[in-house]
């Protein structure tokens, strides 16, 4: 019995030590992010599916939105990986802007795309999300899956709860997002899970030029 207690205590001590060192890794990632992104303002964070390919409609829209943003005085932040992230970095880099890629270390090894000219790699999702929010003056949400929904929800929750100043949160392609928005209006609002006014946080736009015009109307450079 004593031996069992000793073994358990050893495991607990090991976990405690690992947690302590993990705090240093977390702090180091925050410091790296703050130092690397200090000069990217004003930037727009762009999200969307990692599965989109060059030539796809959404991919090419993201390239165009990023190009137009840079031409209008903004830099671009993406998740640093493939798909829409790559498209966002490509448009920004080819237009001569700062093209930030915040890559995440995943078990299946998401590879950084070649178009980011400011690159960071994160172990922790929550630190990466802080960087997306902290250095963005707007969010552009292209069609995507769970990861895209996570970033979208993070932004609108922080704005709804007044933890950050409001900024444009734009969903691109009304047909893609129609089901989600209908559910929010027809189910979540009537059930008083959200206020009707909370829907004003979200804008839905189809055309790249209108996305950039909308951001420029609200964000004074």
Least trusted range by pLDDT, from 3-12, 36-45, 113-122, 165-174: 3-12
Position 94 pLDDT exceeds 60: yes
pLDDT bucket at 218, cuts 50 / 70 / 90: confident
pLDDT of residue 13: 54
Q: What are the Cα distances from residue 118, in Å, to 84, 122, 160?
A: 17, 13, 31
pLDDT of residue 106: 76
pLDDT of residue 3: 47
- Identify the DSSP state of 80: S
pLDDT of residue 109: 56
Position 85 pLDDT exceeds 70: yes
Closest of 144, 70, 60, 59 to residue 100, by C-alpha: 70
Percent of the chain with pLDDT strictly greater than 70:
89
Mean pLDDT, to the nearest integer, of 11-22? Answer: 62
More confident position, 7 or 153? 153
Position 58 pLDDT exceeds 60: yes
For the chain, the average pLDDT equals 90
Estimate to the nearest angstrom the gap between the alpha carbon of 185 and the chain centroid.
24
Distance in Å from the first CA to the final CA of the chain: 69
Position 162 pLDDT exceeds 50: yes
Condensed to tens digits (0 to 9), the pLDDT of residues 111-153 reads: 889 999 999 999 999 999 999 999 999 999 999 999 999 999 9
184: which residues sit within 8 A by CB, 6+ positions away? 194, 199
């Amino acid at each position: 019995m004593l031996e069992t207690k000793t073994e358990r205590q050893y495991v607990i001590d090991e976990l405690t030590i690992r947690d302590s060192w993990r705090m240093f890794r977390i702090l180091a990632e925050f410091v790296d992010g703050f130092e690397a992104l200090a000069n990217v303002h004003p930037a727009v964070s762009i999200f969307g599916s990692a599965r989109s390919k060059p030539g796809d409609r959404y991919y090419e829209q993201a390239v165009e939105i990023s190009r137009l943003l840079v031409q209008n005085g903004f830099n671009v932040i993406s998740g640093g990986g493939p798909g829409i992230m790559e498209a966002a970095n490509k448009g920004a880099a080819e237009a001569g802007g700062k093209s930030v890629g915040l890559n995440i270390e995943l078990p299946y090894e998401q590879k950084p795309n070649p178009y980011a000219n400011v690159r960071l790699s994160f172990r922790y999702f929550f630190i990466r999300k802080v960087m997306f929010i902290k250095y963005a003056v707007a969010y552009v949400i292209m069609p995507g899956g769970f990861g895209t929904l996570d970033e979208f929800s993070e932004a609108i929750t922080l704005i709804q709860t007044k933890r950050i100043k409001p900024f444009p949160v734009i969903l691109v392609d009304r047909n893609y997002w129609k089901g989600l928005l209908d559910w929010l209006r027809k189910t979540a609002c009537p059930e008083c899970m959200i206020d009707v006014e909370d829907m004003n946080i979200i804008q839905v736009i189809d055309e790249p030029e209108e996305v950039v015009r909308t951001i420029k109307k609200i964000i004074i450079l």
